[in-house]
Amino acid sequence: MRRSLKHRRNNASPLGSHTSRAIAILALLFWGACPNFLFAQLPNLPSQLSNQPLEDGKENSVEQLKRKVEQIQKQYQKELSELQERLGSVEKRQSTLSDELGQSVKLGGYGLVAFEDFRDRKTTYAGKMELLISGQFHDRIRFYSEIDLGVPHGTSEVEQGYVDLLLTQAFNFRAGVLLTPFGKFNLDHFDPRQDLTDRPVVARRITPTTWSDLGVGAFGLVPLGDSLKATYDIQVINGLTDKFTALSQGGALGSSTGGVVAQDIGLRDARTGLRTDNNGNKAVVGRGTLKFLDQYEVGVSGYRGAYKETSNDQIVGTSLDAEFRPRGVPFWEDFVFKAEYARFDIENSSAPSSLWGYYAQINYRFWPAFLNSTVMGRHFSNPALTLVGRYGYARINTAAVSDGKLTENTTVIGLNYRPVQNYVIKVEYQFNSGQLERKSLDGFLASVSWLF
């Protein structure tokens, strides 16, 4: 524009000075007559001429800035994705490391101190300390050990010490000192997990809990549907021996209530104590379960094995157990029902010839809201009280007594308090009648047990 104006000026036709003056005067007059027009136009003309390049420059700057922002954004996104990748790989490494650390080895244990006061007997404390070591030294090889530290007997012993080769869900291999899969109570015998201090009479006099032995076995889980699954655990072990206690201490019993029944009458002394097999014939023991909705469990166990050193006479055992833990059902979800039956028949033995017994138990878990503000509830997120009732019966058929049998009936009513799941204070009262262990002495028991 400027160039064209200049061009116009330079190339203006040569007018005479008069003419120029006249034009100049006319122009001045016109300017004076129409100042608004001129003010309106004249300032605008040079403004338009000078702003256009400025806007162009601004547009260029904005474009440049946009490009720069885009570049920065792209770079930022690239760096962010790199960081995310790195974070992901770090998380994976952390995850793997945590798995390895978490699975390598775990230490734990449980303990019990119990007080008992039975009529006509001295009060006493009893106790138990067990060490638990478990872990994995490969993703598919795990070990588990439960070591009784020898309280109160003074001799520590391995109750469990096995290693698992995890092959498939349905078939896995186990070897070592194995907890014998006969009845549920023997498998689930940890004191802090139980709601009463005393074990059921069937688990003491008939099934010799805690019962473990050297051997090998297989176990697995077979899903039978969305809600139903079956499990099995079968073992070949050294088996029970003929060292079971048949008679009373200090001579034969004259009557069903006379004499002193040996403390470990029954099969408790027939356990091998992890010694070598007395007869070379291995025993087979196993338990199968059906679990419905993970709430209703029914188990069947069997045992068969020679027990004498020189003959093939067998001990044959069977057991049935059930445990119902209704969940999500109003009212019933606070209850747990348990029951177990066990029987052993001993070939060519008269003292004892057979043993059997059972127990049934009901637990009611509750927590009154008014206890939340007390010391029992204030500091704990999940405290609970459990009211427990159990009835148990055991019978040992033996020719060592005139009646031909020794029996025991036990009814227990108890209450326990768990501020946390793995610490429990229990109190209970027993009504007993019979000739075994507690005889007809009623009594009070209390205990504190813990698991970590």
Partner 1 sequence: MRWLANSFRSLLTSCLLLALVGSTSCSTYQNLVVYQSDTALIALGELPAGYPSLGPNRHPYTIDPKKLLTLLEPLEYREGSFLPFAWVQPRRVFTMSQGKMLAQELPKALGMALPQEVAAFTVADEENPDRRTKGFTFIVGDELHLILEELRKPSYLGEQKTYQPQAHGWELIPGNSQRLYTSRPEGKGTVPHWVICPLKP
CB of 161 to partner 1, least distance (A): 13
Site for partner 1 in 136-165 (CB under 8 A): 139-140, 144
- 431 binds partner 1, rule: CB under 8 A: yes
CB of 328 to partner 1, least distance (A): 5
CB of 157 to partner 1, least distance (A): 19
Kindly tell me which residue out of 151, 362, 427, 441 binds partner 1, with binding defined by CB under 8 A. Answer: 362
CB of 228 to partner 1, least distance (A): 9
Measured in degrees and rounded to the nearest 5, phi and psi for residue 94 equal -65, -40
86/275 Cα distance (integer angstroms): 56
CB of 207 to partner 1, least distance (A): 16
Kindly tell me which residue out of 377, 414, 434, 443 binds partner 1, with binding defined by CB under 8 A. Answer: 377
Q: Is 53 helix (H, G, I), strand (E, B) or coil?
A: helix
CB of 407 to partner 1, least distance (A): 15
From the list 404, 382, 408, the residue with the least C-alpha distance to 395 is 408
CB of 200 to partner 1, least distance (A): 13
- 367 binds partner 1, rule: CB under 8 A: yes
- 254 binds partner 1, rule: CB under 8 A: no
- 295 binds partner 1, rule: CB under 8 A: yes
- 394 binds partner 1, rule: CB under 8 A: no
| Part in contact with partner 1 (CB under 8 A); list of ranges 47-55, 249-257, 323-331, 343-351 | 323-331
- 221 binds partner 1, rule: CB under 8 A: yes
Cβ-Cβ contacts under 8 Å for 451 (sequence gap 6 or more): 108, 109, 110, 190, 192, 193, 422, 423
Site for partner 1 in 24-83 (CB under 8 A): none
Cβ-based nearer residue to partner 1, 1 or 369: 369
Q: Tell me how crowded residue 362 is: count the other CB atoms within 10 A of its CB.
A: 15
CB of 267 to partner 1, least distance (A): 22
- 108 binds partner 1, rule: CB under 8 A: yes
Q: Tell me how crowded residue 401 is: count the other CB atoms within 10 A of its CB.
A: 23
Cβ-based nearer residue to partner 1, 172 or 272: 172
Query: At CA 275, angle to CA 273 and CA 276, rounded to 5?
Result: 145
Cβ-based nearer residue to partner 1, 16 or 328: 328
Counting beta carbons within 10 angstroms of the beta carbon of residue 104, is it exposed (0 to 12), middle (13 to 18) or buried (19 or more)? exposed
315/302 Cα distance (integer angstroms): 11
From the list 213, 233, 395, the residue with the least C-alpha distance to 305 is 213
Measured in degrees and rounded to the nearest 5, phi and psi for residue 202 equal -70, -30
Cβ-based nearer residue to partner 1, 30 or 332: 332
Site for partner 1 in 340-359 (CB under 8 A): none
Size of the site for partner 1 (CB under 8 A): 82
CA distances from 445 to 376, 384, 416, 427 (A): 21, 20, 12, 6
- 188 binds partner 1, rule: CB under 8 A: yes
Kindly tell me which residue out of 391, 417, 423, 444 binds partner 1, with binding defined by CB under 8 A. Answer: 391
Kindly tell me which residue out of 211, 219, 244, 303 binds partner 1, with binding defined by CB under 8 A. Answer: 219
Query: At CA 434, angle to CA 433 and CA 440, rounded to 5?
Result: 45
CB of 252 to partner 1, least distance (A): 30
- 440 binds partner 1, rule: CB under 8 A: no
Cβ-based nearer residue to partner 1, 210 or 272: 210
Kindly tell me which residue out of 41, 51, 75, 96 binds partner 1, with binding defined by CB under 8 A. Answer: 96
CB of 151 to partner 1, least distance (A): 18
CA dihedral of residues 28, 31, 34, 37 (deg, nearest 10): 160
- 110 binds partner 1, rule: CB under 8 A: yes
CB of 94 to partner 1, least distance (A): 7
| Part in contact with partner 1 (CB under 8 A); list of ranges 7-15, 59-67, 85-93, 245-253 | 85-93
From the list 279, 280, 216, the residue with the least C-alpha distance to 242 is 279
SS3 sequence, 136-204? EEECCEEEEEEEECCCCCCCCEEEEEEEEEECCCCCEEEEEEEECCCCHHHHCCCHHHCCCCCCCHHHH
165/216 Cα distance (integer angstroms): 11
